[in-house]
A and B are shown apart, each in its own frame.
Chain A
Amino acid sequence: MINIKNIHKSYVMGQSRLHVLKGIDLEIKSGEMISVMGASGSGKSTLLNILGILDNYDTGEYSLDGTPIRKLNERKAAALRNHLLGFVFQSFNLISFKNAMENVALPLYYQKVSRKKRNIIAMEYLERMGLKEWAHHLPNELSGGQKQRIAIARALIAKPKVILADEPTGALDSVTSLEMMDILQEINRTGITMVIVTHEHDIAARTEKTIKITDGIITEIIKN
């Protein structure tokens, strides 16, 4: 599903150059659930952003579901993000003036699905997350766990092949974190590939494989 070879990425900051990824090779098979761990600044988030086509890379090769990802224009990148990828963020990133249902339905809006139809589908996903009663509430009326479940529903609605989660439990308490992992594992069981960036060991332990990154290089791959 995901295949990257010798990926390099550096940030230019004025005079200095920060080499963040120093040759990453990684293959993630369809349906795998892996976690990426590393100290802050190790490059784990940068890797996830490159996987999510939110950022570009300098050299190397990346193919997503057989499509080479290299110098895509924004329109094509947007289409790939919309159809193949789902994002879950640490800070939920819900749109503040849209209610839960509208937030979940947003990816389908960009697929030009009619409002009526996408709202029906959004309600189904909310029901799966146990949030049907909260459909017409705005994000600021919901708890952190509820928000993250809405974000997950939003990531799922376009039936992506890969879910990319950046510290999905980082802003949640431990009990809710465990609930969240249950949900993510359940989603993985339906065949969706999952990449989770985290720095919590117990979260990483619930994935099939943990990749440790240190200073821009994969130093260890642990099978859990």
Chain B
Amino acid sequence: MFDLDRWQEIYHVLRKNKLRTFLTAFGVFWGIFMLVIMLGSGNGLENGITQNFGDMATNSVFIWGQQTSVSYKGFPRGRRIEYENSDILALQKGIPEIKYLAPRTNVGGYDGTSNVLRKLKAGQFALFGDFPVFNQIDPVNMVKGRFLNDLDLKEKRKVVVIGQRVVELLFEKGEEPLNQYIEINGVYFKVIGVFRSKRTGEQASGDNQRIHMPFTTLQRTFNYGNTVGFFNVTAKDDVPVDVVENKAMDILKKRHAVAPSDDDAIGHFNLRKEYDKMEGLFFGIRLLVWIVGTGTLLAGVIGVSNIMLVVVKERTKEIGIQRALGATPINIISQIITESVVLTTFAGYFGLTIGVGLLELINYLLSSSGANTEMFVHPGVDFKVAVMALCILIVSGALAGFIPARRAVSVKPIDALRYE
């Protein structure tokens, strides 16, 4: 099918009117170029936003205490709900669908900070009492040392895992933080690990200014007794997190004498729902990009079809000669379709390459300039999409050639031969 004669003919036809060929090719080039750029930008936006989630398990739910809004079982409304260690066990036993249960207490409540000293340096950092599984739900990158473990928890060790920013602020440059002691609210703790957030931008700098210590250590050292600040729960992989969320709410309401109808007493936040909303948004963006992109591409392809009609008309006599010499309709049709496919594929390949190249350049400039690009990270299209776009091109090239090809063989050979 792809013999030299065919290529010679394609070359001749495309070269005969260079400007026309160029302009036609440009239509297709522009279509695929725009598609790639838009897809890549969409991906960049999506990457930027999903990175704000870090590696956080999306099937997780946060539960914290608020104030009751309904009086119940003799309790007045407006009572503050506080959780205790016994709630941990009750949740664990009552909900078999739980994969990880990570209670947490932070000193000074939500957004509170503690005074931290080391030698002559001081800082204000958020201090958390955590279970080791917390690192499974919302993982961090360990830069040095290790995260908390079960023994730390069991023995109520006075150890801490600190964020990278904490190290920068409390230690001299180049100083080794591991196994050093820092003073938190007057008590000394040993540094066993340093981490860096997996998020980007502002959220990451917040994460990196945190200090984590064993949950039990925090309760005892800072006089929190049995108090649990909030729960972070993830569901098993095959269970929707709503199930766990609802069961946990029921158990906690019962244990704390909260009216079943009281929705205000227990605060909860379902990450899955937020994530789903975001996914819906991304789907909308992607759909829009494809509609606009393929529309642009279609305009280019119609241009090709148009030009092929002109080419076929110009070459009517030549096609007539070929048919007189024994060219079958299939010969003629496949020749014209090949021309059209070659033109579209060639132009489209250029568009694809230059589009991807431009995205890579933007990517490079973004990362080398070190700009804070919280909303736009790693624009680019994946290989699968590129191959798909190329397939669309080849198919649309074939379609663009089909109508002109049909027209070329629809005339009688003698009419074609007589055409001037």
Contact = CB atoms under 8 A, between A and B. Distances in A.
B325 interface: yes
- Size bracket of the B interface: 20 to 34
B395 interface: no
A163 to B, nearest CB: 13
Given A82-B325, A93-B321, A106-B325, A54 B414 contact: yes
A95 B318 contact: yes
A9 to B, nearest CB: 11
Contacts of A106: 322, 325
Nearest to A107: B325
A55 B411 CA distance: 10
Interface residues of A, number: 29
A82 B327 CA distance: 8
A123 B318 CA distance: 23
B414 A111 contact: no
Interface in B370-420: 409, 412-414, 417
A82 B414 CA distance: 15
Interface stretch (A16-24, A71-79, A201-209, A214-222): A71-79
Given A83-B326, A97-B12, A115-B5, A110 B331 contact: yes
B181 to A, nearest CB: 85
A54 B324 contact: yes
Nearest to B3: A115
Contacts of A115: 3-5
Given A54-B417, A93-B417, A78 B323 contact: yes
A75 B330 contact: yes
Given A49-B414, A95-B321, A82 B4 contact: no
B329 A82 contact: no
A193 to B, nearest CB: 18
Contact of B329 (A54, A78, A93, A111): A78
Interface of A: 49, 52, 54-56, 74-75, 77-79, 81-83, 87, 89, 93, 95-98, 102, 106-107, 109-111, 115, 154, 158
Interface of B: 3-5, 8-9, 12, 317-318, 321-331, 409, 412-414, 417
The 9 closest A-B pairs by CB, nearest first: A82-B326, A97-B12, A54-B414, A110-B326, A78-B328, A55-B414, A54-B413, A93-B321, A49-B414
